[in-house]
Structure formats: structure tokens, C-alpha cells
């Protein structure tokens, strides 16, 4: 259920984000003209807490959110110079994500909303990513979104607030997840993406052959498990007989993997752009941590210009997980008259899965973990 009347004038929201391993709180203003002003944007990255394990440990993440969130919210409110009475909205991520963390953020949002009599808006984390490009440069609808993070790899036609059509998704690993697993296999740190990029810059991408997945499949879905497995097979062959991987081996494997990942992302996105061009958009937005990768960005840039699209990449701070985009998504809903009514907002529960598109189609490709990252 939604409140139908959109309020006029400036709107102010507190955003809360706890769906993965960043604990974040931000205060954002939406001016009456539709532009955004980030008044504060606090992030505590839990990377160190998880580094030892080579990946995000859900239980540790939930506890760290619990420890840090209250302080971050206080800091964000103070930095913004906002009082609780100023808030038009408290927007909290309600999914998809690691359930323990999402519960911490949503319960905190509900409690603050009740205590301070500020309306609550549960936010879909994917919607927050999808609308983040409109914070920095007011990107008009419609646009094509490539969301590439550690948890998601999706192509989405963003037609308006609350109007999303999923064109493609990964059928196995998310792109960032494949970078992280490849890094772990090669003994590099976590998160693996930045380290793989650094090593790839010194490597030869032609020494090892990597698969180019789904070449014969129509549609815009992705697959990264084949190239991840190819790295493992090559590494196992190199280390037969107890030999250790040399620095050059690691660099070359990273270069081969990154090139294959970039080619695949660009090829599938090009297909989506071809299907989308009739809709008069010409805009490709990239979001998610993997969009930080310069080689991937360059490949997407080239593919976009070939298809007559403009590549729009929000500033990196807005590309990766943050609370400003959560506050903004809540504000966009409120301004569009699509905010939840109080009953629905308080009844919302934390969700591990929450697809943006209400009727996503599923495809069959044989084996693979379909759905988990979808
Ligand atoms: O969007 P994000 O901060 O968090 C979510 O996963 O939601 O993305 C983090 C992911 C990690 O998998 C990380 O390894 C990847 O983005 N990443 C990169 C790079 N920087 C971050 N992957 C490739 N190249 C990079 N430079
Ligand atoms: Zn995210």
C-alpha cells in the first residue's frame, strides 16, 4: 500500500544501510526541483573484520552493524545539523542482503521512526543502486543500468521510480564474487577485486586462455563460474609437483581473468543496449563496486560508444554500498507518491532476497546455482 499524494517542497531523509559489510548512515535533502544534496554520508567498512576469513562472514557482519550503527547515525545527524523533527523520512534497507545485518538496520529504522514520529520507508537495496545515478547528475529516465557488485550482476531497464525491468542476471557467481574467489585462490587479499586489478596491470592477458561464456545464448544473462574455474585449473597445472606460483604466473592469471570478465560484461551489455536503443534512452549507467575497475570501465566505455550510448558512472563513493543512496531512494519514492503507508512500512520484514522486477523470468542453462544472485 502506498500514500498517493506526493509532498511539495524540500524533503529531508536519514538513510540506513546494513545489507552487507558496510555499516552506513547518511542525511540527504531532495530539493523541490528534484536535485539532491548530501548533507552527511558516514560509512564504516568492516573489511578488516572479515579479511582473516577471505570473505564476508554474515554473523560477524551483523554484530559489527549492531556495534557501529547507532554511533554512525548520531554522527550523520550531527554533521548534517539536522534535528529529528526536521526529517520527512527514515529510509532503511530492508533487503536483499545478509539477513542478520538487514534486520539490524531495519529494526533500528523502525525504532527511530516510532520514537521520533518520522515516517519509515523500507528500501530495496537494488532500487537504491538503480537510482543512485540521479543523485550526482539528475540522470533522466529511462536508462539502462548495469549493476556489478560482490552480490549482484544485473542489467535493468530503469523506466521510472518503481518501474524496473530486469533484462539479465548472473546464472552463477556475481562478477565481484568471481573476482574475490579468484583472488582467494591465488592467495591475494580480500576484497579481491582491487588486488586482481593491480596484479593484472602487470600481467600478460594472452598467456592463459579463458572461456567466453554464453556466446551462443540469446538474452543478456551472465556467467562467471567458468572463468573462475579456468583460473583454478591453470593454477593447479602450474603447481603440479609442488611448484609454487611465481609473481608472473599470478599476474598473468589475473590479467587473463580480468580481460575475460571485462569482455563478457561488455558483450552482454552491448546486447542489452541493442535491445534498449529503440526506447530512446542512449544512457548506460554502471553501479556497484566492480565499476571501480578501470579495465572494465574502459571496455564498457568502448561498447557504449559503439552502440551510441553515453556511459554514466556515479562517483565511486555512490557506486559502492552507502546510505546516501538509500536515503535518496526513499526520497524518490516519497516525491513520486510511492512511499509505503505506516502500516505497510512497520509490517515490512527483512528479506534475504527481493528482486526488483516483480515477475523476473528464469532461463534454463543446465547446471548452475540459478536464483541465489538473481
Ligand atoms: O558494491 P560493493 O561495494 O558491495 C557489494 O557487493 O554490494 O562491491 C564490492 C565488490 C567486491 O566483490 C570487490 O572485490 C569488487 O566489488 N571490486 C572490484 C574492484 N573494486 C571493488 N572488482 C574488480 N575491480 C576492482 N577494482
Ligand atoms: Zn550493493
Atom of ligand 1 nearest to the CA of 151: 6
| pLDDT on residue 370 | 40
- The packing angle between helices 192-200 and 175-185, to 10°, is 70
Cell of 310: 553515453
Q: Are residues 134 and 315 in contact, defined by beta-carbon separation less than 8 angstroms?
A: no
Q: Which residues share a beta bridge with 44?
A: 23
Cell of 138: 539528475
Name the residue at shortest CA distance from atom 13 of ligand 1.
193
pTM: 0.90
- Select from 17, 21, 133, 193 the residue to mutate for testing ligand 1; criterion: most ligand atoms less than 8 Å from CB: 193
Q: What is the pLDDT along the chain (374 residues), one digit of tens a residue?
A: 444 566 779 999 999 999 998 999 999 999 999 999 999 999 998 888 888 887 788 999 999 999 999 999 999 999 999 999 999 999 999 999 999 999 999 999 999 999 999 999 999 999 999 999 999 988 999 999 999 999 899 999 999 999 999 999 999 999 999 999 999 999 998 889 999 999 999 999 999 999 999 988 889 999 999 999 999 999 999 999 999 999 999 999 999 999 999 999 999 999 999 988 766 569 999 998 899 899 999 999 999 999 999 999 989 899 889 999 999 999 999 999 999 999 999 999 999 999 988 765 555 554 444 433 44
| pLDDT on residue 196 | 98
State in Å: Cα 193 to ligand 1 middle: 6
Q: Are residues 259 and 208 in contact, defined by beta-carbon separation less than 8 angstroms?
A: no
Name the residue at shortest CA distance from atom 21 of ligand 1.
289
Q: Which residues share a beta bridge with 124?
A: 95
- Select from 130, 149, 177, 188 the residue to mutate for testing ligand 1; criterion: most ligand atoms less than 8 Å from CB: 149
Instruction: Count Cβ atoms within 10 A of the Cβ of residue 149 and give its class: 0-12 exposed, 13-18 middle, 19 or more buried.
Output: buried
- Select from 17, 184, 191 the residue to mutate for testing ligand 1; criterion: most ligand atoms less than 8 Å from CB: 191
Cell of 125: 537495496
Name the residue at shortest CA distance from atom 22 of ligand 1.
193
| pLDDT on residue 53 | 81
Cell 536508462 locates to 143
Specify the 3-state DSSP secondary structure of 352.
coil
State in Å: Cα 45 to ligand 1 middle: 13
d(CA 159, CA 337): 16
| pLDDT on residue 368 | 41
Nearest ligand, measured from the Cα of 61: 1
CA 226 to chain centre: 22
Atom of ligand 1 nearest to the CA of 294: 26
| pLDDT on residue 89 | 98
Atom of ligand 1 nearest to the CA of 176: 12
Of 196, 195, 190, the closest CA to residue 262 belongs to 196
State in Å: Cα 203 to ligand 2 middle: 29
- Select from 46, 227, 290, 324 the residue to mutate for testing ligand 1; criterion: most ligand atoms less than 8 Å from CB: 290
Beta-strand relationship, 11-17 and 22-30? antiparallel
DSSP single-letter state for residue 368 = S
d(CA 334, CA 326): 12
| pLDDT on residue 372 | 38
State in Å: Cα 148 to ligand 1 middle: 8
Nearest ligand, measured from the Cα of 17: 2
**CB within 6 Å of ligand 1 — which residues?**
20, 149-151, 176-177, 179-180, 191-194, 197, 288-290, 292-293, 320-321
Cell 523476473 locates to 360
Buried b (16+ CB within 10 A) or exposed e, 290-320: bbbbebbbebbbebbeebebebbbbeeebbb
Nearest ligand, measured from the Cα of 148: 1
Instruction: Count Cβ atoms within 10 A of the Cβ of residue 166 and give its class: 0-12 exposed, 13-18 middle, 19 or more buried.
Output: buried
Name the residue at shortest CA distance from atom 16 of ligand 1.
289
Of 122, 107, 101, the closest CA to residue 46 belongs to 101
Name the residue at shortest CA distance from atom 23 of ligand 1.
193
* Residue 22: φ, ψ to 5°: -115, 130
Give the E-state strand segments of the chain in sequence order: 11-17, 22-30, 36-45, 89-95, 120-124, 143-148, 153-160, 163-169, 283-287, 310-312
Amino acid at each position: 500500500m502506498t500514500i498517493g499524494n506526493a509532498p511539495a517542497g524540500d524533503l529531508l531523509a536519514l538513510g540506513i544501510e546494513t545489507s552487507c559489510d558496510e555499516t552506513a548512515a547518511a542525511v540527504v535533502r531532495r530539493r523541490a526541483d528534484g536535485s539532491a544534496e548530501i548533507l552527511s554520508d558516514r560509512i564504516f567498512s568492516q573489511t578488516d573484520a572479515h579479511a582473516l576469513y577471505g570473505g564476508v562472514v554474515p554473523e560477524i557482519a551483523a554484530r559489527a552493524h549492531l556495534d557501529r550503527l547507532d554511533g554512525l547515525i548520531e554522527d550523520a545527524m550531527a554533521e548534517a545539523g539536522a534535528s529529528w523533527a526536521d526529517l520527512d523520512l527514515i529510509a532503511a534497507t530492508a533487503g536483499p542482503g545478509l539477513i542478520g545485518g538487514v534486520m539490524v538496520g531495519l529494526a533500528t529504522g523502525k525504532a527511530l521512526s516510532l520514537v521520533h514520529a518520522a515516517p519509515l520507508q523500507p528500501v530495496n537495496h537494488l532500487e537504491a543502486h538503480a537510482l543512485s545515478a540521479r543523485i550526482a547528475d539528475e540522470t533522466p529516465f529511462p536508462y539502462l543500468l548495469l549493476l556489478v557488485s560482490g552480490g549482484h550482476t544485473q542489467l535493468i531497464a530503469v523506466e521510472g521510480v518503481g518501474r524496473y525491468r530486469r533484462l539479465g542476471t548472473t546464472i552463477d557467481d556475481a562478477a565481484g564474487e568471481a573476482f574475490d574467489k579468484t583472488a582467494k585462490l591465488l592467495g591475494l587479499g580480500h576484497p579481491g577485486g582491487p588486488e586482481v586489478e593491480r596484479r593484472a596491470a602487470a600481467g600478460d592477458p594472452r598467456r592463459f586462455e579463458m572461456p567466453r561464456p554464453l556466446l551462443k545464448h540469446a538474452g543478456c544473462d551472465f556467467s562467471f563460474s567458468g572463468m573462475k574455474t579456468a583460473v583454478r585449473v591453470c593454477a593447479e597445472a602450474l603447481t603440479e609437483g609442488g611448484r609454487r606460483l611465481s609473481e608472473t604466473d599470478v599476474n598473468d592469471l589475473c590479467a587473463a581473468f580480468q580481460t575475460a570478465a571485462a569482455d563478457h560484461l561488455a558483450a552482454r551489455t552491448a546486447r542489452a543496449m541493442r535491445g534498449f536503443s529503440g526506447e530512446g534512452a542512449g544512457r548506460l549507467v554502471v553501479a556497484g563496486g566492480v565499476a571501480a575497475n578501470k579495465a572494465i570501465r574502459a571496455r564498457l566505455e568502448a561498447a557504449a560508444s559503439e552502440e551510441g550510448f553515453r556511459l554514466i558512472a556515479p562517483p565511486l563513493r555512490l557506486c559502492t554500498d552507502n546510505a546516501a543512496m538509500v536515503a535518496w531512494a526513499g526520497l524518490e519514492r516519497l516525491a513520486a507518491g510511492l512511499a509505503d503507508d505506516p502500516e505497510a512500512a512497520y509490517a515490512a520484514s527483512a528479506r534475504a532476497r527481493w528482486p526488483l522486477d516483480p515477475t523476473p523470468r528464469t532461463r534454463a542453462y543446465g547446471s548452475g546455482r540459478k536464483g541465489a544472485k538473481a
